[in-house]
Amino acid sequence: MSMLPYAVAAWLFGIGLYGIATSRNFIHLVGCLGVCQSATYVLLLGLGYRWGSIAPIFYDHPPGTPAVDPVMQALVLTDIVVGATLTALLLVLTIQAYKRGGSLDPEKLRPMRAGGKSGRDPGPSRVSDAERSVS
């Protein structure tokens, strides 16, 4: 029982990694990365927990009451905020990849070439998009 939170963290990380490795869609991939990241929340909060302790806020309880580890909670807070903005950044990159390549499938991602022509044959609107951005 004492290993359960760590096992949950390992399982979350593993299943997220499996999702990333087998992903056929960028949005699904970003979601899987979020699952991997939630493993770090579970691990950090599990490390900082102690039975019978209060939250590290000494408003209702006098200072000196046994409290859980505040460092881990601060780390998780940081983790969540940075994770949220990075998810936004990755989703924007997804949008850009879709605009350039016309596909959300990581398998079909090709290097970008000069002139905005990707290796695949893009639809007519994609071509005009690319040309406009170059000019």
Partner 1 sequence: MSPRARIALLVLAGLVLLPGTGAVIAGLPPFGSTIAQYGERINAITPQVRHVANMVSAINFDLRGLDTLGEEFMLLAAITGTVVLLRGRRGEGNTERAMRRPGRAVIPRSDTVVLVCRIAGPLTALFGLYVVLHATVTPGGGFQGGVILASATLLIYLGEGYAGWRDTVRSHWLDAMEGGGALLFTLCGLAPMLTGAAFMQNVLPLGTFRDVFSGGLMLVENLGVALAVTGGFTQLFLEFMEETRAADEPDEPGEESA
- Per the CB < 8 A criterion, the answer to whether 130 and 120 are in contact is no
**Distance from C-alpha of 9 to C-alpha of 72, rounded to nearest angstrom:** 15
**C-beta of 61 vs 120, nearer to partner 1:** 61
Applying the rule CB under 8 A, the residues between 10 and 49 that interact with partner 1 are 10, 14, 17-18, 21-22, 46-49
**Three-class DSSP category at 1:** coil
Q: Among 5, 75, 1, which residue's Cα sits nearest to residue 46? A: 5
In sign, the C-alpha dihedral spanning 19, 76, 69, 71 is positive
Task: Examine residue 56 and tell whether it contacts partner 1 (CB under 8 A).
Answer: yes
User: How many amino acids of this chain bind partner 1 (CB under 8 A)?
Assistant: 53
Q: Among 78, 4, 66, 67, which residue's Cα sits nearest to residue 41? A: 78
What is the pattern of x (binds partner 1, CB under 8 A) and - over residues 89-128?
x-xxx-xx----------------------------x---
Q: Tokens representing 110?
A: 């090709």
Which residue in 16, 36, 85, 116 binds partner 1 (CB under 8 A)?
A: 85
Residues binding partner 1 (CB under 8 A): 1-7, 10, 14, 17-18, 21-22, 46-51, 53, 55-59, 63-64, 67-74, 77-78, 81-82, 84-86, 88-89, 91-93, 95-96, 125, 129, 132-133
